[in-house]
Structure 1
């Protein structure tokens, strides 16, 4: 009897962990955590992991500029963090996360604040965007595609 109860318990546990709703929740948490970690690193000017949010096959479109790739993104981020004449910080507001298997779409708004040390002027912009995440071979969720634009 104990063997049957244990088997039933294990089968029930397997059914719960295999549930798409639980998998989606786990993926959403991993994606939120990745965005939070990137934002904290960027705002702290920590360039050591600044490219970790992006997949090697990254393609992105930003404000009508030409399509760019992972290398362009990483070099641009590192340049921005190294420029001590200005301070740039980011915050995000997730509107929606849709997970389907190893892909997820995140609709969000990035808020950036740029302040220049010479003038003290602060410029805030809102950038609605759509990020496509893919679970990578190492299990991490990374952005493989994104589009963003400045809100009017």
Structure 2
């Protein structure tokens, strides 16, 4: 039995590492789904990335919760004069239990005209009771 203990300990570490990698991939997938939803005008799916307990801080806009951020997404997607498209560059995903931190940069392109906004940020995700990872806090700014 003493010989098996190190093997069991290593297998437990491997399984924990595997679960963290799976969670990081699930978060990356949620961000990819959000990007597709936003870029195709799917407001419900775009808003679903955010927790109802969201507290966000975007430089120049101040703090806002879920309702305000979802209303902003809705206004952008309903704008008939302009089209907004996002692309994400995920720098890292750090998972610890039911919390995760994502360091990323969003690039927003606005048509017509091709104006670009580069927006580095930090998102804090939580695994909510339904099993989905959602953003509970984020800070971002435009370069």
Query: Could you say whether these structures have the same fold, taking a TM-score greater than 0.5 normalized by the shorter chain as the test?
Result: yes
Residue 82 of structure 2, aligned match among 83, 86, 94 = 86
Could you tell me how far 1:16 is from its partner in structure 2? 5.6
Structure 1 residue ranges (4+ consecutive) displaced by more than 2 angstroms after TM superposition: 15-19
Q: Show structure 2 runs of 5+ residues with no match.
A: 1-7
Question: How many equivalent pairs are there?
Answer: 135
Residue 136 of structure 1, aligned match among 125, 128, 136 = 128
Equivalent position of 1:63 in the other structure: 59
Q: Which string of whole-angstrom CA distances, capped at 9 and with x for unpartnered residues, describes residues 29-50 of structure 1?
A: 1101000001001101122322
Q: 1:24-63, aligned counterparts within 5 Å? A: 24-63=20-59
Q: Which string of whole-angstrom CA distances, capped at 9 and with x for unpartnered residues, describes residues 75-127 of structure 1?
A: 111111011100000000011111110000000000000113xxxx1101110
TM-score, normalised by the number of residues in structure 2: 0.88
**Structure 1 residue 148 corresponds to structure 2 residue 137:** no
Alpha-carbon RMSD: 1.7
